Amino acid sequence: MYRPFRLLIYISFAFSCFTAHAQPLNKKEKFTREDTLRGSNGPGRDWWDVKHYSINITPDYPQKRLSGKVEILYTVKEDSNGKPMQIDLQQPMQIDSVQGLAGNKFSFRREGNVYYIDFGKKKQEQWLTKNDIPALHQVKIWFSGKPRKAVNPPWDGGWIWTRDNKGRPWMTVACQGLGASVWYPCKDYQGDEPDSGAILAVTVPDSLSAVGNGRLISKNNDKKGYSTWTWQVKSPINNYNIVPYIGKYAHLTDTYTGEKGEALSLDYWVLDYDSARAEKQFGRDVKRMLKAFEYWFGPYPFYEDGYKLVESPHLGMEHQSAVAYGNHFLDGYLGMDLSGSGWGKKWDYIIIHESGHEWFANNITTKDIADMWVHEGFTMYSEVLFTEYYYGKKAADEYLQGIRNNISNDRPLIGPYGVNKEGSGDMYNKGASLLHTIRQVIHNDSLFREILRGLNKEFWHQAVDTKEIEDYFSRKSGKDLSGIFDQYLRSTEIPVLEYKTEGNKLHYRWSHCMPGFHMPLLLEGKTEYWLYPRTDWQDILLPEGTGINDLNPNFYITLEKML
């Protein structure tokens, strides 16, 4: 009875994955002032730039409460005198006190999930710095409350209070889309990452371990049955990626020498009774993942912070340098192949997919969640590239064509800007299909690889918008790809190649496409032959031995024979 029931749960997870692997927001199309405050770089945010977070928390497992302090270092972009600072903290969490560098207290007021800190007309205190570096300011915020409890993490996220199989407390948080402000005060906007990283200090009972992003810099016992684990990540990091994991963990270590020519530390934190399974599963897939992705995308972006997998009570999440892993040490996605091709059972889906985000989401981050296809489309495509690296192009094509069957074409991939709203869950499968289609148009795999590596070099540790990615592809490929991006990102229509044949004469045109769409197509018969369809009818004589049935199947289009 137990195993079939779990299978039903796994199947429901898989169907959720078809539309969104991470955390989709609801489908509302009417937006409020609260949505704008959350999703835009408005007047309470635009005048200051986050440089560093230092977060100290103490979770209370029996009461399901958090208390803590956040210190924010920031610079001022313009004269901020008289302007309030917007700090996000979602109800029912609350700010208790706000202080400046010298301990002076500041007043604050609440508007829904936003607080405004009033610095008054006096100039904010600042640290004087040398070498023309902008002066640093500091604000300290004490907070407490019962954070929103996760309903179905990672899709419906929040703080996770659960127990492991031995009944011991197991805690973490999953908050992509929902926002890091669900549990700590911050500037909850993807376009402003702390340039100098973050420190996370977590105080827990001595019987438990607390794991965070980056590297452990100290563990202090207070002799009252509690320990404080302090972790530091030095690279810029997105707010939702800063996450504690608390449980009865065992620690496994390894190293990998990659493209940088230096040893990358590999750390695995798993529940103590899962050590043997983790050593086998992680030992098989992590290094081959790194080898494949460094080949396609360039060096792992966070050598200074290390690579880490942490067992989590939810399926997975791309937490930078501390990837959440909950795939139960199974191959595929909870034991299933989402592509139906057979290739998806050759590797652990969560290790490959969530680690791919270290390049696309964590290294290259979109400023607005509306452009989240950049995170998910490229990362879904990383699965295709991983498959190709180890099993060949035919296997990769079959995998891609398989996941293409999961596309619903319900909404455009790009969502509305400035309101914290993502586009369609098709950003995964359709995003990957778009990239594979563009790869066929470029028709030069060496150049395509150079573009992927160039993206991670050009936008190293940066926040971008989709136009920058689109322009980079067109510029580096030497082809105007704007019409193709428009078609697949901003429309739900899949272009249709309408055609008629008379012997080797082909009558053809594009339909169901946006203005400016003029994608060429490749026929792979006895010889390669390119078609250049337009929206008006054209006639050509095909070479002997080449027909419309020889169309390269990796183009994401529909063929329709006209009578």
Is 15's pLDDT higher than 60?
A: no
- Residue 153 lies inside a defined structural domain of this protein: no
Is 2's pLDDT higher than 90?
A: no
Same domain, 359 and 479: yes
* pLDDT band at residue 204 under the 50/70/90 scheme: very high
Same domain, 527 and 409: no
Same domain, 468 and 551: no
- Residue 86 lies inside a defined structural domain of this protein: no
CA dist list (Å): 544 to 337, 506, 541: 40, 12, 9
Is 316's pLDDT higher than 50?
A: yes
Is 134's pLDDT higher than 80?
A: no
Nearest Cα neighbor of 337 from 17, 3, 557, 23 is 17
Same domain, 520 and 453: no
pLDDT tens digits along 62-89: 999 999 999 999 999 877 777 899 999 9
Nearest Cα neighbor of 325 from 247, 287, 270, 253 is 270
Give the domain-ending residue among 490, 519, 551.
490
Is 560's pLDDT higher than 50?
A: yes
Give the total residue count for the chain.
563
* pLDDT band at residue 27 under the 50/70/90 scheme: low
Look at phi and psi of residue 161 and say left if phi exceeds 0, alpha if psi is from -120 to 50, else beta. Answer: beta
Phi, psi values for residue 449, rounded to 5°:
-65, -40
d(CA 241, CA 517): 37
End-to-end CA distance of the chain: 55
- Residue 452 lies inside a defined structural domain of this protein: yes
Burial label, 269 (beta-carbon count in 10 A; 0-12, 13-18, 19+) = buried
Phi, psi values for residue 156, rounded to 5°:
-115, 90
d(CA 354, CA 360): 10
Q: By percentage, how much of the chain surpasses pLDDT 90?
A: 87
Contacts of 423 (CB under 8 A, 6+ apart): 370, 372, 373, 411, 412, 413, 414, 415
- Residue 78 lies inside a defined structural domain of this protein: no
- Give the up-direction half-sphere exposure of residue 152: CA atoms within 13 A in the CB hemisphere: 14
Same domain, 506 and 486: no
* pLDDT band at residue 101 under the 50/70/90 scheme: confident
DSSP H or E run through 6 = helix 2-19
Nearest Cα neighbor of 385 from 271, 298, 475 is 298
Same domain, 429 and 537: no
Strand, coil or helix: what is 118? strand
- Residue 203 lies inside a defined structural domain of this protein: no
Phi, psi values for residue 116, rounded to 5°:
-115, 120
- CATH (domain of 360): 1.10.390.10
Same domain, 462 and 376: yes
Q: What is the pTM of this model?
A: 0.93
- CATH (domain of 531): 2.60.40
Same domain, 455 and 534: no
Tell me the mean pLDDT in the region 314-327: 98
d(CA 523, CA 502): 17
Same domain, 508 and 453: no
Give the domain-ending residue among 469, 490, 511.
490
Give the pLDDT of residue 120. Answer: 77
The position carrying tokens 């739900």 is 492
Token pair recorded at residue 441: 């148009």
> Which of 93-97, 99-103, 447-451 shows the lowest mean pLDDT across its residues?
99-103
Give the range of the structural domain holding residue 531, as residue numbers without chain letter: 496-561
> Which of 6-20, 265-279, 364-378 shows the lowest mean pLDDT across its residues?
6-20
Give the pLDDT of residue 338. Answer: 97
Is 123's pLDDT higher than 80?
A: no
d(CA 345, CA 555): 24
pLDDT tens digits along 468-505: 999 999 999 999 999 999 999 999 999 999 999 999 99
Nearest Cα neighbor of 265 from 322, 324, 220 is 322
Give the pLDDT of residue 119. Answer: 86
Tell me the mean pLDDT in the region 35-52: 96
pLDDT tens digits along 227-259: 999 999 999 999 999 999 999 999 999 999 999
Tell me the mean pLDDT in the region 341-355: 98
Nearest Cα neighbor of 348 from 287, 427, 301 is 287
Same domain, 373 and 482: yes
Same domain, 500 and 432: no
Give the domain-ending residue among 459, 490, 521.
490
pLDDT tens digits along 207-219: 999 999 999 999 9
Give the pLDDT of residue 226. Answer: 97
Nearest Cα neighbor of 296 from 201, 381, 408 is 381
Per the prediction, the chain carries an average pLDDT of 93
Tell me the mean pLDDT in the region 138-165: 97
- Residue 406 lies inside a defined structural domain of this protein: yes
- Residue 31 lies inside a defined structural domain of this protein: no
Dihedral angle computed from the Cα positions of residues 92, 93, 97 and 99, in that order, rounded to the nearest 10 degrees? -140
Dihedral angle computed from the Cα positions of residues 453, 553, 339 and 343, in that order, rounded to the nearest 10 degrees? -70
Q: By percentage, how much of the chain surpasses pLDDT 70?
A: 92
Q: In what order do the strands lie in the sheet with 263-271?
A: 249-257, 263-271, 307-311, 323-325, 316-317
Burial label, 377 (beta-carbon count in 10 A; 0-12, 13-18, 19+) = buried
Same domain, 447 and 480: yes
Q: Would strands 65-76 and 137-145 be described as parallel, antiparallel, or unpaired?
A: antiparallel
| Torsion 439-440-444-445 (CA) sign | positive
d(CA 10, CA 260): 39
- Residue 542 lies inside a defined structural domain of this protein: yes
Give the pLDDT of residue 3. Answer: 29
Query: What is the DSSP secondary-structure string of 392-454?
Result: -HHHHHHHHHHHGGG----S-SS--TTTT----GGGTHHHHHHHHHHHHHHT-HHHHHHHHHH
pLDDT tens digits along 407-424: 999 999 999 999 999 999
* pLDDT band at residue 6 under the 50/70/90 scheme: very low
Is 122's pLDDT higher than 70?
A: no
- Give the up-direction half-sphere exposure of residue 359: CA atoms within 13 A in the CB hemisphere: 29
Give the pLDDT of residue 347. Answer: 98
* pLDDT band at residue 5 under the 50/70/90 scheme: very low
Per the structure, how many domains does the chain have? 2
Give the pLDDT of residue 125. Answer: 57
